[in-house]
Amino acid sequence: MPSDEKVYSPYAKPRGIIAMRARVQAIYGLTTLTKEAQETLSPLVVDCPACGATGLAGTYGGMGWLLCPRCHGLGVVYRDLEKFLARRREIIVRQPEIVIPDWTPGRPYRCPVLDLKRNIVIDACPEDELPRQGALPLEG
């Protein structure tokens, strides 16, 4: 396997199952990616051309990094957002239990987790295990 020395945003290459779930939830606005959602929505999600799917606009050594302003750090963008939203609405009609309320497309959550009992998304971030460079504020 070739070594990949690229640097990725924590949203583009999350560590751990909770952060990985948070990424899927942020991209799709669904608490779980069903087979139907995977098949109909995934083709409309493509690597961000602005950052090469790294989610970063730049890294500055030990100072930190900047999130890509196009994909907000997720490393992916919607090929056709209107079509994506239309297909997502069709899925939600059939499976309303998997919708994430107040979802905004293309914006990462640090780590939303589904509360299965109440079926709501709560913020329940565990502490990061490894030290990680911080994000720098975008100018302007």
Tokens 């950052």 label which residue? 51
| 12 counts as binding Zn ion under rule CB under 5 A | no
Q: Which tokens go with 120?
A: 């709501």
Shorter beta-carbon distance to Zn ion: residue 131 or 140: 140
What is the gyration radius of the CA atoms in the chain, in angstroms? Answer: 16
Q: Which residue, 19 or 91, has its beta carbon nearer to Zn ion?
A: 19
If residue 59 lies in a helix (H) or strand (E), which one and from where to where? strand 56-59
Mask: binding to Zn ion, 35-54, rule CB under 5 A, as x and -? -------------x-xx---
To Zn ion, the closest distance from the beta carbon of 126 in angstroms equals 26
Residue 72: closest CA among 104, 38, 32, 37: 104
Q: How far apart are the first and last CA of the chain?
A: 40
Report how many residues bind Zn ion under the rule CB under 5 A: 6
**Minimum distance from residue 50 beta carbon to Zn ion (Å):** 4
Q: CB of 68: closest distance to Zn ion in angstroms?
A: 3
Using CB under 5 A, pick the residue from 47, 59, 70, 105 that binds Zn ion: 70
Other C-beta atoms within 10 Å of 62: how many? Answer: 6
Residue 83 near Zn ion by CB under 5 A: no
| Nearer CB in complex with Zn ion: 107/114 | 107
Please name which of 44, 50, 41, 29 lies closest in space to residue 78, comparing C-alpha atoms: 44
The residues of the shown chain that bind Zn ion, judged by CB under 5 A, are: 48, 50-51, 68, 70-71
